[in-house]
Structure formats: C-alpha cells, structure tokens
Amino acid sequence: MNKQKISIVTGGGSGIGLAVCKALAADGHKVIVVDLSASASEEVAQEILSEGGDAHAIALDVSDHKQVKHAFEQVAQQYGSIDVLVNNAGIGSIGTLEETTESELDKVYQVNVKGVYNCAFATISQMKKQQSGVIVNMASIASSVGIPDRFAYSMSKGAVLTMTYSIAKDYVEEGIRCNCVAPARVHTPFVDNYLEKNYPENKQEMFQKLSKTQPIGRMAKPVEIAQLVKYLCSDDASFITGSNFPIDGGFVTINN
C-alpha cells in the first residue's frame, strides 16, 4: 500500500489555493492548508474533512522566515514527511514603474518572492532527507510576457519562474521535482473584489471586458488550474521537472 502523501498548500484559504487543496485531498493526499487567515484555512480544512478527505489547517505568514521554518519542521516531525509543496500564496499589484512606490514593491516582494523562498527553504532539507518530493510554484503569464500596469507583480512572478528553474536544476539528483504553473486571468475572489472596489457601477460590463482579453473568451476557473497542479504533483508526472506550464486560454501564444 502506498504511503499517504503529505502536501502543503500555501494561500489555501480561497481561490486557486482552495481548489488545489480540494483536488489534492480528492486524490488521497493529507493536505496542510496554509493561509494568513486562520478562519479561512480552518474553514477549508473542515470542508475537506466533511467530504471524507484528510486536512489540517495552519495560519501562517509566508513572508516570515522563522515562522515558516518552525511550522514546516512541525509538519515534518508530526507526519514524517513533506511530499508536496504548492507555493500558491501571493498578492496582486497594479501600476506602472512610476506608479509603484517603494513600499508597494517591498510588500509584493515579501509575499510573492520571499514567501516562495521561505517555504521552499523550509521544505528542501526534508525532501533531501527523503530523496523525493515535488514543488509546484504559482507563476503567471506575467513571468513570460509584458502585461500593462503590472510592474511589481511581473517582477515577482518573473522571479518565481527563475527560482523554479534553479530549484529543479540544483535538486534533480536528490529525487526532487520542481515546476511552475502560469495562469492568465482566473475568476477568483480577488477579481470580484477588484471590480467591486474600482467599478461598482458597471461590474458586469468590466467582468466581460476582462474575460474577453483571453483569446478563448473567458477567464479560467480555479478548478482548472487545480487539476493541472494535481497532475504535476502526481506520480504520473514523474518525468517532468524544470518546466513552466502556461494555462492561459491561448493568451501567450495567440496574443503575442
């Protein structure tokens, strides 16, 4: 009988992270739901448990190196392994170079870049000890092509892409695989909150406009991203490492 995989998903309390947690749980993983919000992580874990899956919630700030290291050491100690890490936690940022303040740049870096570093750093020694493990990082189409008004966000996701390549290169002989997923627009609570804040009078019109920037004519659903992540975390993907997977409705190829 195969051992149950212990899988950490950051930003697991909503959106893509929530969908990834549920997809991995449905595939038999014990999912460690990590989120800045204790109530959000607990709610997702309870939902998974109620559906017959296995989950545990941890409230965690991924930008805090010591906090992450301590929490992940506890996971490894309690469950005996860390088999999968999905670095999904991230924040958005809108603005050109001139519109991006130093504090905004630092904030995006702390979560989107340092957060990925912190979680991978806290995981890699355990995976080396096991001589096995999978890391999937959430990049973006902004890692590969220019997106208007996304200076800080693009900076951070470009770093995620190259960190992925570096980890894959350095640890391939340790049995560790590392890949990233690069979505275009995904219909998450972030999109709804953005429209509510900036376009309260014409939310539906703007939603349609944003949807049509994808050549396929709509935004992705979180579950569609989650299914790709689930595959990359599975043994079926055991020959895949050091790769970037656009999941973008044709955005990169057709629009550029």
Task: Specify whether 194 is catalytic.
Answer: no
* Residue pair 118/63 in contact by the 8 Å Cβ criterion: yes
* Catalytic residue, candidates 79, 117, 153, 199: 153
CA distance 206 to 167: 39
The percent helix, strand, coil of the chain (3-state, each to 5) is: 55, 15, 30
Sheet of 176-183: strands edge to edge? 54-59, 30-35, 6-10, 84-87, 133-138, 176-183, 244-247
With tokens 């017959």, the residue in question is: 52
* Residue pair 81/126 in contact by the 8 Å Cβ criterion: yes
State the catalytic residues.
153
